Chains A and B, each alone.
Chain A
Amino acid sequence: MNQFNITIVKHQLDFGGDICGIKATIDDMEMSVPLDPANRHYAAIMEQVSAGTLTIAEADNGE
């Protein structure tokens, strides 16, 4: 019954320019979410993405 209010999501890049995480605002808290299926926030994001109710934006320059 994990319930999250996910409002802002965008990819994060490592120094090599590869996607290494997701910057998200979840329950009004900004956090960096790793690409780990065992992470409950990542699982919730991907569940909403799969359902078509959430889109992950591209990373900003410098992030």
Chain B
Amino acid sequence: MSALNVNAIDKESGSTLTLGGSGTTVNVNNMVPDVALSNRNLITNGAMNVAQRKTQVTGVTSGGYYTCDRMPIQVNGLGTWTVDQSTDAPNGFSNSFKVTCTTADASPAANAFSVFSHRIEAQNIQHLAFGTADAKSMTLSFWVKSNKTGAASFDFLQDDNSLKMISKSYTINSANTWEYKTILIPADTAGVINNDNGSGLQINWWLNSGTNWSSGSLQSTWSTYDATNRNASNLSVGGAVSDYFAITGIQLEVGEVATPFEHEFFGNTVAKCQRYYQKSYNLDIPPQTNNAAGRHYFYLSPNTTNGNKGDIVSFPVTMRASPSVTIYNEASGVAGVFSNGASAIVIVVGQRSFMGYATSAGSDFYAHWVADAEL
């Protein structure tokens, strides 16, 4: 056995480095650059496997988090939609995020839009070094499927820099076919992302919009926000009933190479999602469902001198910020009511716990709860 000690081995030509006389080849593009081997993906729930709220919501006409965790849709005056955690997915994936138009808008008003989004917590992307000379470029990759074909737009926005933005396009070549897309996102040496728990980057995949968002041109370098440049290549999903857009396998990583999607254990993804949204219901039980499993027994003796006036609920995962909390009657699903009918009050909410109490005496203060600290 002998050792070869050199500072660098360069390829002879093309993108292939050949090792060994028998022709064992290593594709340079598959070699891992100086980025992490794990936790590469800056997207949470990119495989769309976790959907704590519901797996399907119909009649959507406004924005919000409806199905897959961390994956909101923004809608403003453009059609009616069904939002699914769909089991339609490319090989190797189990789920996708899917929106299907149920009421079309063939001529959107100027300010109308429908957008699929994701927001990344700022302190999780400090290693991008944005705002410094060492700022790093990123690669976005994802699987997409739609009945619509042609060019589509997406943009990145920096919340800490007056929505400084970049917008790019990708092309859906074949209808009703899963296609894999990779796009390079350049570094930004001038836009500092604050090291805090706010939104550091927004990514928005545009489904459709009016001219206020589409009358400009793609903005391929980081520069000042211009709404008209955000959806310059309009895919126009929702121009007809049954138009749909599905996406999964979203990965955003440091560097200029799209590595294979970083699949992770389901429980790990759940824990990551719980930083932003969690509930007492079992994972597959939507809030407000009549289901006792996991309900919290609030140990209360209201209106007594020595009893427990309030009871603490501790979160299994520290939340991003102090969450908004709703208590639900376990049977009826009515908000703000314990199982015995007493009104439920939530106070002193923090990132790790909240206190619930009742304003009237009684026994059996059971209830479910939901805590929302989404970006």
Binding site for B on A (CB under 8 A): 1-3, 5, 12-15, 20-21, 24, 26-27, 29-36, 38-42, 62-63
Chain B contributes a number of interface residues (CB within 8 A of A) equal to: 33
Residue of chain A at shortest CB distance from B357 = A15
Partner of B347 from A5, A12, A26 at Cβ < 8 Å: A12
With A20-B348, A21-B347 known as contacts, the answer to whether A32 contacts B326 (CB < 8 A) is yes
B372 adjacent to chain A (CB < 8 Å)? yes
Segment at the interface with A among B135-143, B239-247, B253-261, B317-325: B317-325
Ordered by A's residue number, 26 sampled pairs between the chains whose C-beta atoms are within 8 Å are A1-B63, A1-B74, A5-B62, A14-B347, A14-B348, A15-B309, A15-B310, A15-B347, A20-B347, A20-B348, A21-B347, A29-B335, A30-B326, A31-B326, A32-B326, A32-B346, A32-B354, A33-B324, A34-B322, A36-B321, A38-B196, A38-B321, A39-B322, A39-B323, A39-B324, A41-B324
A2 to chain B, nearest CB (A): 7
A29 touches B115 (CB 8 A): no
Cβ contacts under 8 Å, B320 to chain A = 38
Bound complex: CA A31 to CA B370 (Å): 9
Bound complex: CA A62 to CA B361 (Å): 13
Binding site for A on B (CB under 8 A): 62-64, 74, 76, 115, 117, 196-198, 309-310, 320-326, 335-336, 345-350, 354, 359, 372-375
Sorted nearest first, the 5 A-B pairs with minimum C-beta distance are A32-B346, A38-B321, A34-B322, A36-B322, A34-B349
Cβ contacts under 8 Å, B354 to chain A = 32
B57 to chain A, nearest CB (A): 12
B62 touches A32 (CB 8 A): no
Cβ contacts under 8 Å, B335 to chain A = 29-31
Cβ contacts under 8 Å, A20 to chain B = 347-348
Cβ contacts under 8 Å, B373 to chain A = 39
Residue of chain B at shortest CB distance from A25 = B335
Partner of A34 from B62, B64, B323 at Cβ < 8 Å: B323
